[in-house]
Amino acid sequence: MRRLRRNKVALFFGFLFILLVLACVAAPIWAEEVAKTTPEANHLSDVIKVDGKDVNVVGLDGVPIGPQWLKADGKFFFGADRNGRDIAVRLLYGGRNSLMIGITAAILTTILAIVLGLISGYFRGTTDTVIRALLDVLWSFPVIILAVALGVALALGGLNIGPIHLEGDSLGIPIFIIGVVYVPYMARPVRGQVLSLREKEFVEAARAQGAGPIRIMFTEIMPNLAGTMIVFFTLLIANAILLESALSFLGAGVQPPNPSWGTMIDEGVDRVATAAHLAIVPGVMLVLTVLSLNVFGDGVRDALDPRAKVRLER
Amino acid sequence: MGRFVVRRLAQMAFVMWAVSVLTFLIFNVIPNGDPAERMAGKQPREAQIEAIRREWGFDDNIFVQYFTTMKKVFTGDLVSYFTQLPVGEEIVKGLPRTLSLAIGAALLWMFVAICFGLYSAVRAGKFADRFLTIIALVGISLPVFWIGALMNHYLGFKLGWFPNGGYVEFTEDPIDWAYHLILPWTALSILFVGFYSRVLRSNVLDTINEDYVRTARAKGLGERQIMIRHVLRNSMIPIVTLWGLDFGAVVGGGAILTETVFDLQGVGQYAAEAVGQLDVPPVLATTMFAAFFIVLLNAIVDIAYAYLDPRIRLQ
């Protein structure tokens, strides 16, 4: 921890991430108090006052206005899109979706990976062989292709697994997809650690006291995985946000009109020639968020174990 | 060595089989609803759904269904119900473009990463090292389709330094081929440069403390010769493995975003367009062949590795 505290760059970026999250959480405040609109409201034929002059939100040639900063009292801070929707408002609401997907998917991955890694590493033998084969197969698919395949398969009908029911256009679909595809990348190193931890004296002591496998796995071994978990969790959020944007770009992620940074970049990239701010604004926001997580995660890894090699994306 | 190869190939065959089963499950079993309806795409007609159901045998039991699906994938009579074009032919048509992109990018990212990583390690802890670390972290944080679109717009369209997307056959004009691929190669490389340079940096820092490096220094070799012949060579081993795997991953799927942004019309873009139409047969075929290619490449890398380093054969 002291090593982390000395790493000013990592701390700065960790702070930046918290700031970005808070800004997105506060989206309704900005929308109601400053921009006075909603993420879905169209202002196609509206006229706003900029420095006392009247300006069309969307010009007669269909080109929306660019960033106004504070010239229009905070309205259209980052400009408008082709429907006259306020980009700044959509950016914050989209950030809520992107961050929510990223964080929830990271939690899902972490839980699955820890449980699989613990069972596989602790019991060894046939259980281990089966789980490892399963992870190997998942690992054989390129992350993005597997995610896209699941996205296409689930987009029309949705998903039913036991008690879980997800509609085709719900945010649960991208969360489920992203949560699953990263599991092998985390479960493998966890399994490796469990394999060596289970031979340690404290595990033997617990076993001598009569502790069962469940107790040994979750109260003796799991706390020792905390460092790995923190590092992976940070990087998982970063990668999940990136993957969400890639999936939305391909049309297999968040389904419009739900805003997310991915869908906003997707819309912006199509119109980069006429209104570049549509692509630049959400892209910069996404990069800042992912970068802050990557730098912070890197700092935590350095502080805990500089030699650990952590990598998710392929 | 012979036994290792046989064992590794058997393992490969098993994983490929499992991949085919998982692909089948993803498309035909896991999702809700009627698989025939999903195959038919976004706006299916009743008669077509019925025809697909008969053709794919969706009323048969699940094992027969699996065999029917695999037969369709491997005999090449898989047809997109959206474009009516045969899937196999389209994939073969796009393959040279995808390989052009992947091979060029792989060479580029390796070269740049070696320069960055080595320089970073030599200057460890100094300003240049910190600066390159930040650059590397920025690199792995950039969505490739976003930076690609901006490069295409500003460098290609506005400044006119590069062509605005598109692809020229190598056999037609090799120079124009490379000229059209410079931006896609760069965009695709950014992520990998970020990652490889950092791995190489930490490997170099580990290797510098080895005994043989001290020996080389003791016998009076020049610093440049020590770094390149002794340190770099040994630091490269893990990276070369990664390189093989990543190349497979890029051909198998990583190229999907880059190809789409730069309009290269390769396999990736073919898959991306099918995704946009929710057109299942092309996505099914590309998913499976992508995974197959990666499994095959993994096996080749492992065997090459075992050939070079006998310790691995015994594990």
**pLDDT tens by residue, B233-268:** 888 877 888 888 889 889 888 789 999 999 899 999
Which pLDDT band, with edges at 50, 70 and 90, does A310 fall under?
low
Tokens of A178: 């992203």
State how far the Cα of B104 lies from the Cα of B173, in Å rounded to an integer. 16
Q: Does the pLDDT of residue B309 top 90, yes or no?
A: no
Residue appearing with tokens 């007669």: A60
**pLDDT tens by residue, B21-68:** 999 998 888 887 788 888 877 777 788 888 888 888 888 888 888 988
Give chain A positions within 8 Å (CB) of B143.
Answer: 242, 245-246, 249, 265, 283, 286-287
Listed ranges A191-200, B81-90, B298-307; the one with the highest mean pLDDT? A191-200
Does residue B37 belong to the interface with chain A, where contact is any CB pair within 8 Å? yes
Does residue A154 belong to the interface with chain B, where contact is any CB pair within 8 Å? yes
**CA proximity to A39, closest of A49, A30, A48:** A30
State how far the Cα of A273 lies from the Cα of B157, in Å rounded to an integer. 8
Phi, psi for residue B234 in degrees, rounded to 5: -75, -25
Contact A291, A282 (CB under 8 A): no
- Comparing A157 with B15, which gets the higher pLDDT? B15
Phi, psi for residue A72 in degrees, rounded to 5: -110, 45
pLDDT number for residue B209: 85
Average of per-residue pLDDT across A73-87: 79
pLDDT number for residue A313: 47
If DSSP codes are grouped into helix, strand and coil, which group holds residue A166? strand
The strand pairing partners of A160, in sequence order, are: A165
Q: Does the pLDDT of residue A167 top 90, yes or no?
A: no
Q: Write the burial class of residue A17 (CB in 10 Å: 0-12 exposed, 13-18 middle, 19+ buried).
A: buried
ipTM for this model: 0.89
pLDDT number for residue A307: 55
Contact A152, B23 (CB under 8 A): no
CA B231 to centroid of chain Cα atoms: 28
Residue of chain A nearest B143, judged by CA positions: A242
Q: Does the pLDDT of residue A239 top 70, yes or no?
A: yes
pLDDT number for residue A243: 94
- Comparing B176 with A15, which gets the higher pLDDT? A15
> What pTM does this model have?
0.90
Pick from A166-180, A219-233, B2-16: least confident: A166-180
pLDDT number for residue B96: 92
State how far the Cα of A185 lies from the Cα of B293, in Å rounded to an integer. 19
Q: Does the pLDDT of residue A27 top 90, yes or no?
A: no
Q: State chain B's mean pLDDT as an integer.
A: 88
Q: Residues 108 to 167 of B: which have CB under 8 A from any A CB?
A: 130, 133-134, 137-138, 140-146, 149-150, 153, 157
Does residue A16 belong to the interface with chain B, where contact is any CB pair within 8 Å? no
Helices (H) and strands (E) in chain A — how many of each?
13, 4
Q: Does the pLDDT of residue A139 top 90, yes or no?
A: no
Contact B89, B80 (CB under 8 A): no
Q: Is the N-terminal amide bond of A257 cis, ω within 30° of 0?
A: yes
Nearest chain A CA: its distance from B220 CA (Å): 30
Sequence-distant (≥ 6) Cβ neighbours of residue A163 within 8 angstroms? none
